[in-house]
Amino acid sequence: MNVPRGGPTAPSAWRDGWLRGAERVVSPNCAPRPIGVAIDLVVIHSISLPPGEYGGDAVERLFTNRLDWDAHPYFATIRGLRVSAHFFVRRHGAVLQFVSCDEQAWHAGRSDWRGRGDCNPYSIGIELEGLEGQRFETAQYERLQSLIRDLAGHYPVACVTGHQHVAPGRKLDPGGGFDWHALQRSVALPGLEFTF
């Protein structure tokens, strides 16, 4: 059972795991969550396609299996990839949601959190439009702060971490340009741990 920690979010903010106010773009790259598994981890990622280029629809196309693999040389290196995240936060703060939070998105890959392998069944994945090692925009931090608060008010989220921390040596995102301390200070929910 998913009992929220932190104050409850207004019931109208969520419907079947979809956050009102986020643009819904449904991805097929998801699966049911195992029965009885608590959704207690948020994993922050970064992505841009092609790397370092912002504002296009390539990430949306990747997460919905509609990316033209021949449209850019980089796309050939990820040809056939089937991935998704629950949320994607654009540089200007707009939010797209691809998978209901009641289901698992395919965002973490081979991963481990404190001895618990395969993070997808018990986590929520948030992608920030960006490139590991580079800085993120104020609008993204503001939207991420409210998103984490909404999630913690609806699910028993206990910890927020990065992709680089659940897949060390394999992933580097969100990377050194991400300001973990600022995010931790701005969210400031009692009992919510940030590990970085």
Residue 4 has pLDDT above 90, yes or no: no
How far from chain centre, in Å, is Cα 131?
14
Task: Give the model's pLDDT for residue 11.
Answer: 56
60: DSSP letter: H
- Cβ atoms within 10 Å, residue 138: 10
Mean pLDDT of 79-89: 98
How far from chain centre, in Å, is Cα 102?
14
Which residues belong to the active site?
127
Query: Cα dihedral angle (97, 103, 104, 105), rounded to 10 degrees?
Result: -30
Q: What pTM did the predictor assign?
A: 0.94
96 confidence band (pLDDT: 50, 70, 90): very high
Name the more confident of 89 and 8: 89
Task: Give the model's pLDDT for residue 175.
Answer: 96
Measure the CA–CA gap between 12 and 66, rounded to whole angstroms.
32
Q: Which residue has the tokens 């081979």?
A: 110
Residue 5 has pLDDT above 80, yes or no: no
Which distant-in-sequence residues (6+ apart) come within 8 Å of 171 by Cβ? 45, 109, 163, 164
Class level of CATH domain 11-194: alpha beta
**Taking a C-beta distance cutoff of 8 angstroms, is the pair 13, 154 a contact?**
yes
Residue 3 has pLDDT above 50, yes or no: no
Mean pLDDT of 91-98: 98
The pair of structure tokens assigned to 82 is 């089937």
User: Cα angle vertex 168, ends 105, 34, to 5°?
Assistant: 30
As a whole number, the mean pLDDT across the chain is 94
**Taking a C-beta distance cutoff of 8 angstroms, is the pair 54, 140 a contact?**
no
Per-residue model confidence as pLDDT tens digits over 108-131: 999 999 999 999 999 999 999 999
Report phi then psi at 95, rounded to 5.
-120, 130
Measure the CA–CA gap between 125 and 6, rounded to whole angstroms.
19
Of all residues in the chain, the percent with pLDDT exceeding 70 is 94
Per-residue model confidence as pLDDT tens digits over 165-192: 999 999 999 999 999 999 999 999 999 9
